[in-house]
Chains A and B, each alone.
Chain A
């Protein structure tokens, strides 16, 4: 009965939801910040990124929302920290393509983010799973929207 649900809400996702990594913003102007709010459901995510010498040195996140949205911010921060900017960007694109059911580079090691594969069967939840990643990509653009 719950197979579809278990496929969406994998243990690893719920684990990140309960124990988020890299949570909490820092007061440091070297960080780029992006805040995205989904006006239809109230999911609210802020991502902070520290980029130095072409590398993503640190990622912080804060926000409120459903388990898919909040957990994916945590997963993102753990996965993309300490990666060259281009690589982080590339991985992020593969993730977004994966959850939206588009073709993506399956050779990329998505680690915990693999758990979001089930999302593509729930079109209404794709936005939840990608909002943090959009915010992250915005921070790489170098614009501080706050």
Chain B
């Protein structure tokens, strides 16, 4: 009937059968397989990579390099275009640092109010440092980035286009391929925050043709503290590293150094080895289930949830036409933190706040919202439970006079 697969058993956190987890847009749950894989590293071949010539180090290095191949395959990149980072935020900051020297006074950087803080604040900073102008694509009445609005702000002074692929609050898909094409025609670099897209759909960097793209492992069944920066090889060759130290260096002398080839050029110090290996296992798991199948599943859940929420008195939904499994809403007259305390009492995990996207909150003219987000382990039953709990919250605060 409703679901194609029942996979709750794969996720140890869901051993608690009463738990409803609806906060994947913040972080996803981790399956047993990924945990075992990371444990294996520490238990069986816990050696550094790229260093030792002994067997353990060799084994660790092999698996670590395999992980890079797995990530490259996932997004259709070349292996040497995949830089391991501490997460999407770290990756997006690196992009800003790499491009900073090429930004002149009066240049324009196009971004949007839909950006997560990690994709807007680094550029706000660079704009200040370099005397550049930060330009926001005007959003349409629903809060979407439309191609025409982007065309209107694109100019010969545009140096960088920094946009989200899927908004973490509104769940809208940006027409990033066409935007990239237009940006390139104007000689601008394109940086894409794909933290909410890569976990939920097939993303092909060659088709998008963007210059940089970033995402995090922990939003797609992998470990925290690990993420990916994709960069076109020609850029990774040309741009200077942003961090210096072991691993990125070729020959070091008192006054000079040479760099390793990309991606190592952008990776300093002992990397998160278990995390890389664990992330590859997460990708394997997701690919076995099928990213398109997962996307369909989320879509059906989102439709079901939209219908149920719309039928609930006093619920305001801010993104009725979302493309992703993200629903942002409020209960009229009740602060989201008060609502979420009642939901938590029913063991439902849901995000309340500004979702690291204060510009979106300002655009919506609200202080904070509730946000439910879905992944492959969610079911209709989860949504039924959410609706029941929201009704309880509404009745409770009504009785209290709100």
CA distance A125 to B400 in the complex (A): 18
CA distance A5 to B401 in the complex (A): 15
Asked if residues B341 and A65 are in contact (CB atoms below 8 Å), the reply is no
User: Provided the pairs A42-B361, A42-B367 are in contact, do residues A128 and B400 lie with their beta carbons within 8 angstroms?
Assistant: no
A104 contacts chain B at the CB level, 8 A cutoff = no
B381 contacts chain A at the CB level, 8 A cutoff = no
Asked if residues B335 and A40 are in contact (CB atoms below 8 Å), the reply is no
Asked if residues B337 and A44 are in contact (CB atoms below 8 Å), the reply is no
Asked if residues B367 and A67 are in contact (CB atoms below 8 Å), the reply is no
CA distance A12 to B264 in the complex (A): 61
Q: Which residues of A contact B392 (CB under 8 A)?
A: 1-2
A42 touches which of B342, B344, B354, B396 (Cβ 8 Å): B354
How would residues 1 to 40 of chain A score, 1 for a CB under 8 Å from any chain B CB and 0 otherwise?
1101100110100110110000000000000000000001
B53 contacts chain A at the CB level, 8 A cutoff = no
How many pairs of A and B residues are in contact by the CB < 8 Å rule? 53
User: Provided the pairs A41-B368, A42-B354, A65-B367 are in contact, do residues A125 and B337 lie with their beta carbons within 8 angstroms?
Assistant: yes
Q: Which residues of B contact A64 (CB under 8 A)?
A: 367
Asked if residues A124 and B367 are in contact (CB atoms below 8 Å), the reply is no
Minimum CB–CB distance from A112 to chain B (whole Å) comes to 16
The residue of chain B having its C-beta at the shortest distance from the C-beta of A3 within the complex is: B345
Asked if residues B396 and A2 are in contact (CB atoms below 8 Å), the reply is yes
Asked if residues B353 and A18 are in contact (CB atoms below 8 Å), the reply is no
The residue of chain A having its C-beta at the shortest distance from the C-beta of B395 within the complex is: A2
How would residues 137 to 165 of chain B score, 1 for a CB under 8 Å from any chain A CB and 0 otherwise?
00000000000000000000000000000
Contact-residue size bin, chain A (C-beta under 8 Å from the other chain): 20 to 34
Minimum CB–CB distance from B155 to chain A (whole Å) comes to 33
Asked if residues A41 and B400 are in contact (CB atoms below 8 Å), the reply is no
Minimum CB–CB distance from A71 to chain B (whole Å) comes to 11
Please classify the interface of chain B as helix (H, G, I), strand (E, B), loop, or mixed, using the class held by over half of its residues. helix
B341 touches which of A15, A42, A43, A125 (Cβ 8 Å): A125
B338 touches which of A1, A42, A44, A67 (Cβ 8 Å): A67
B400 touches which of A4, A14, A124 (Cβ 8 Å): A14
CA distance A40 to B354 in the complex (A): 7
Asked if residues B396 and A41 are in contact (CB atoms below 8 Å), the reply is no
Q: Which residues of B contact A2 (CB under 8 A)?
A: 392, 396
B352 contacts chain A at the CB level, 8 A cutoff = yes
Asked if residues A41 and B402 are in contact (CB atoms below 8 Å), the reply is no
A68 contacts chain B at the CB level, 8 A cutoff = yes
User: Provided the pairs A68-B338, A124-B344 are in contact, do residues A42 and B368 lie with their beta carbons within 8 angstroms?
Assistant: yes
Residues of chain A in range 48-62 having any CB-CB distance to chain B below 8 Å = none
Q: Which residues of A contact B352 (CB under 8 A)?
A: 41
A90 contacts chain B at the CB level, 8 A cutoff = no
Asked if residues B402 and A14 are in contact (CB atoms below 8 Å), the reply is yes
Q: Which residues of B contact A5 (CB under 8 A)?
A: 341-342, 345, 396
Residues of chain B in range 345-402 having any CB-CB distance to chain A below 8 Å = 345, 352-354, 361, 367-368, 392, 396-397, 400-402
User: Provided the pairs A18-B402, A65-B367, A67-B402 are in contact, do residues A41 and B345 lie with their beta carbons within 8 angstroms?
Assistant: no
Asked if residues A122 and B368 are in contact (CB atoms below 8 Å), the reply is no
CA distance A128 to B344 in the complex (A): 16
Asked if residues A67 and B335 are in contact (CB atoms below 8 Å), the reply is yes
Q: Which residues of B contact A68 (CB under 8 A)?
A: 337-338
User: Provided the pairs A42-B361, A64-B367 are in contact, do residues A18 and B337 lie with their beta carbons within 8 angstroms?
Assistant: no
Minimum CB–CB distance from A81 to chain B (whole Å) comes to 25
Residues of chain B in range 28-65 having any CB-CB distance to chain A below 8 Å = none
Minimum CB–CB distance from A57 to chain B (whole Å) comes to 31
Residues of chain B in range 312-345 having any CB-CB distance to chain A below 8 Å = 335-338, 341-342, 344-345
Q: Which residues of A contact B401 (CB under 8 A)?
A: 14-15, 18
Q: Which residues of B contact A66 (CB under 8 A)?
A: 335-338
Q: Which residues of A contact B402 (CB under 8 A)?
A: 14, 17-18, 67
CA distance A86 to B392 in the complex (A): 43
Minimum CB–CB distance from A1 to chain B (whole Å) comes to 8
Q: Which residues of A contact B396 (CB under 8 A)?
A: 2, 5, 9
Question: Can you list the 3 inter-chain pairs with the closest CB atoms, starting with the nearest?
Answer: A66-B335, A66-B337, A42-B367
A11-B400, A42-B368, A68-B337 provided; 12 other pairs, C-beta below 8 A? A2-B392, A2-B396, A9-B397, A9-B400, A14-B400, A40-B353, A41-B352, A41-B354, A44-B367, A65-B367, A66-B338, A128-B337
> Residues on B close to A: CB < 8 A?
335-338, 341-342, 344-345, 352-354, 361, 367-368, 392, 396-397, 400-402
6 A-B pairs with CB atoms under 8 Å apart are A2-B392, A17-B402, A18-B401, A43-B337, A122-B341, A128-B337
